[in-house]
Amino acid sequence: MRAEDVRRDGRVIAVVPTMGFLHEGHLTLLRAARARADVVILTIFVNPTQFGPSEDLSRYPRDEAGDLDKARPTGVDLAFCPDAAAMYPPGSQTYVQVRELARPLCGASRPGHFDGVATVVTKLFHLTRPHLAFFGEKDYQQLAVIRRMTRDLDFGIEIVGMPIVREADGVAMSSRNVYLSPEHRAQATCLVRGLDAAEAAVRGGERSAAALLAAARAPCEAAPAARIDYIELRDADELTAVERLARPAVLAMAVFVGATRLIDNRVLKP
């Protein structure tokens, strides 16, 4: 099956790009894609260009056979699982950069990360030729970068963001959760407890960014194994810093629990 042939037949293609080690969050994306498209393509690729030199590329969890078993019941039509040499053949030197949206938050903590994300997503879009692409809102900044890139470069693809899928205790599902020891897994709830506290403060009338950030930080500062990378309140569209909640803003956080870096977010509305 060639994507170009599918498009020529008038059928709608949806792509769900992942790095594998699928969990219910990924499967939710696949089911949503199945509901809207004639052909659903799952991509599984641990993209080396979005990892820094001291990050977890070599030990990132992988289970391609298990992933395909999990994906099959969702009705996926095709799985594209290239290796790094196929995606980045010798001599590759072209990168895609989304400048301002990629600077703060994870962009400041992980220099070059979003250049790798934008580049691999561009390549996957060209290879799969989708009408629709599905991404989770847990990676809020990534979703913003991809939306802006898609619009700026006139890809003509609808980017669909899907709500965060959480465990029973509120922890956002993530492939990296497998790294957590039982003790650290219990402390990982500090992120969602911080988000809940800030949202409760907004419901109580609080609008000061400093106060909301203090509410969000408190549970993480109280968790012995937690170390805050960043907790920031940013405009929901432009990711610029805000001092007072006057329009929708994203409360975004990255927190190390033990050695595992976890991210989460909540859009707060005045």
- Residue 154 backbone class (left: φ over 0; alpha: ψ -120 to 50; beta: rest): left
Nearest residue to 92 via CA among 144, 25, 47, 146: 47
Residue 143 is encoded by which pair of tokens? 């979703």
What is the spatial distance between Cα 90 and Cα 83, in angstroms, rounded to a whole number?
13
What is the spatial distance between Cα 58 and Cα 56, in angstroms, rounded to a whole number?
6
What is the spatial distance between Cα 109 and Cα 263, in angstroms, rounded to a whole number?
12
What is the spatial distance between Cα 266 and Cα 114, in angstroms, rounded to a whole number?
21
26 is catalytic: yes
- Among 23, 26, 113, 126, the one annotated catalytic: 26
Known catalytic residues are 26
